[in-house]
């Protein structure tokens, strides 16, 4: 009777071991399929991102080409240029002609500024010396 019980337990153990191996194999197969699917999704997303970046760079390149080829408005000072003199913060006087402004302050510093659509772009800074030349 003890021998029959041992054989029954051995058969149950063998059956469970076989089921465990089958489940492990199925798990490996499912994980492999899932990883392949996710790799395919990642490749698709990478391709879409590359296309988006390529199109964005192309738009920027075309915009730069368009901006570079646009005809700039002619800048002519002519015989009687239009000058204006006004006061600016930290500078004594600004002398401006069209879009360029030159300002001077009491510490012998001059600023050359380009004004485009209410935005000031500093072009250069000139510092004076005691002998009258520029440094």
Residues near 104 by beta carbon (within 8 Å), at least 6 away in sequence: 91, 92, 93, 110, 111
Q: Which two tokens stand for residue 37?
A: 């699917």
Check residues 94 and 105 and name the one with the higher pLDDT: 105
What is the model's pTM?
0.41
Report which of 127, 121, 135, 74 is spatially closest to residue 104, judged by C-alpha positions: 127
Q: Where are the domains of the chain?
A: 1-70, 83-127
* Residue 94 vs residue 50, higher pLDDT: 50
What does the alpha-carbon distance between residue 66 and residue 71 come to, in Å, rounded to a whole number?
A: 10
pLDDT for the residue numbered 90 = 43
Percent of the chain surpassing pLDDT 90 = 44
The per-residue pLDDT for 14 is: 96
Backbone angles phi, psi at 20, to 5 degrees: -65, -45
Query: Residue 35 contacts by C-beta under 8 Å, 6 or more apart in sequence?
Result: none
What does the pLDDT read at residue 68? 83
- Strand-pairing partners, residue 92, are none
Distance CA 8, CA 19 (A): 17
């Amino acid at each position: 009777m003890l021998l029959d019980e041992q054989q029954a337990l051995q058969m149950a153990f063998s059956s469970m071991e076989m089921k465990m191996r089958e489940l492990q194999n199925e798990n490996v197969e499912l994980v492999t399929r899932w990883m392949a699917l996710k790799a395919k999704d990642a490749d698709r997303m990478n391709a879409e991102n590359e296309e988006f970046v390529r199109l964005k760079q192309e738009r920027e390149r075309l915009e730069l080409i368009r901006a570079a080829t646009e005809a700039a408005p002619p800048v002519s000072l002519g015989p009687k240029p239009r000058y204006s003199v006004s006061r600016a913060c930290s500078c004594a006087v600004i002398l401006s002609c069209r879009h360029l402004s030159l300002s001077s302050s009491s510490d012998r510093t001059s600023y050359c500024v380009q004004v485009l659509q209410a935005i000031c772009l500093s072009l250069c800074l000139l510092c004076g010396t005691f002998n009258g030349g520029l440094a």
